C-alpha cells in the first residue's frame, strides 16, 4: 500500500494549505497586460510569419502558463508551441513536419524582441 493510500485523513488535513498554495499560483481575474503591447507583439509575429507561412490569431479561453505572465502584465502570445491536435486526449499528437517552421518562428520572434523591445519608439519590424 502506498503512503498516500494509507493516510487519507492526512491528505484531507493538508488540503486547505494545498488549496491556498494553488490559489496563489492560479489567477482567476482578467489579465492585466496592455492590449496595445500584445497587439504589437502579434504584429511582429505576423510579419515574421509572412516569411515562414501564414499565421492566424485567435482568442480562446482556457488555462495555460501564459495566464501567469499575462496576469503579471507581460505582453503574452500563447500557442507558440508545437503544431498538432487532440490536446490532453488519447489522440494528442504533434505534426513533426511543422517543428522546423515553428522553431524558426519562435527563434525569430525572440531575436526581434531582443533587438527592438516592444514599445521602442523606432521599432520598424522583425
Count other C-beta atoms under 10 Å from residue 125's C-beta: 9
Alpha helices in the chain (DSSP H): 3-6, 8-25, 35-52, 66-71, 99-115
**pTM: predicted TM-score of the whole model, two decimal places:** 0.63
Q: Residue 25: is its pLDDT beyond 50?
A: no
Mean pLDDT of 12-18: 53
Task: Give the separation between CA 94 and CA 102, rounded to whole angstroms.
Answer: 11
Interval 36-83: pLDDT, tens: 888 888 888 888 888 887 777 776 667 788 888 888 888 888 888 888
C-alpha cell at 36: 496595445
Q: What percentage of the chain carries pLDDT values higher than 70?
A: 63
**20 CB-near residues (< 8 Å, 6+ apart):** none
Longest distance between any two alpha carbons in the chain, whole Å: 64
Which residue's entry shows cell 481575474?
A: 29
Residue 51: closest CA among 125, 105, 106? 105
**4 CB-near residues (< 8 Å, 6+ apart):** 11
Mean pLDDT of 87-102: 91
Task: Give the separation between CA 80 and CA 66, rounded to whole angstroms.
Answer: 11
Amino acid at each position: 500500500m502506498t503512503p498516500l493510500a494509507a493516510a487519507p485523513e492526512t491528505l484531507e488535513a493538508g488540503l486547505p494549505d494545498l488549496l491556498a498554495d494553488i490559489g496563489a499560483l492560479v489567477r482567476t481575474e482578467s489579465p492585466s497586460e496592455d492590449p496595445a503591447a500584445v497587439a504589437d507583439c502579434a504584429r511582429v509575429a505576423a510579419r515574421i510569419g509572412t516569411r515562414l507561412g501564414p499565421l492566424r490569431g485567435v482568442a480562446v479561453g482556457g488555462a495555460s502558463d501564459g495566464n501567469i505572465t499575462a496576469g503579471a502584465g507581460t505582453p503574452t502570445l500563447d500557442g507558440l508551441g508545437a503544431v498538432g491536435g487532440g490536446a490532453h486526449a488519447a489522440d494528442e499528437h504533434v505534426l513533426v513536419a511543422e517543428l522546423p517552421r515553428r522553431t524558426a518562428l519562435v527563434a525569430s520572434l525572440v531575436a526581434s524582441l531582443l533587438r527592438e523591445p516592444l514599445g521602442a519608439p523606432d521599432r520598424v519590424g522583425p
